[in-house]
Amino acid sequence: MEDRNSRPSVAVSYVGVEASMRKLETYIAEKGPFDGILGFSQGGAAAAVLCAQNPHSFKFAVIISGFVPRDEALLKCLEEARQPLALSGLQSLHVWGTKDTLVDNKRSRELLDYFGEAAKHFEHTGGHFVPSGGEFRRHLLRFITEESSQSPT
């Protein structure tokens, strides 16, 4: 059986997450708003929480191999913002690999659901990495170009 604290995708609590999120919150408050936010894996989970806490600080989010955090404090933040986040006008692109063995596709799809019906997704045939193929680059470019040209929410 896997140790439930060995990897963020399966851990039930994250050491140091409160301090990290506070630093990011401060940065967003001082330097924002931003066109977008991008997060990969655990960073995707953090980006989703930041979107929930600051839905009007970003025009869009790109979340690659992200997942709903199991840490109780972060999960609570997402749950409390579920409806406001889905209705905030924040556009999101969720990306995952069909052969990802670290973050199950089901968990990435579950995170996508928090962003509502307007959320988009891109599925690639690889594993747990940021895809770099031409098809993904064109898809990402089109998404960012469209969303960054929108007026702030």
Residues annotated as catalytic (active site), given as ranges: 41, 100, 128
For 21, 110, 126, the CA distances from 6, given in Å and listed in that order, are 20, 22, 23
DSSP string, 98-138: TT-SSS-HHHHHHHHHHT-TT-EEEEESS-SS---SHHHHH
User: Helices (H) and strands (E) in the chain — how many of each?
Assistant: 5, 4
Residue recorded with tokens 């098809």: 135
8: which DSSP letter?
T
Question: How far apart are alpha carbons 32 and 16 in whole angstroms?
Answer: 23
Dist. CA 93–CA 32, nearest whole Å: 20
Residue at 20: amino acid letter: S
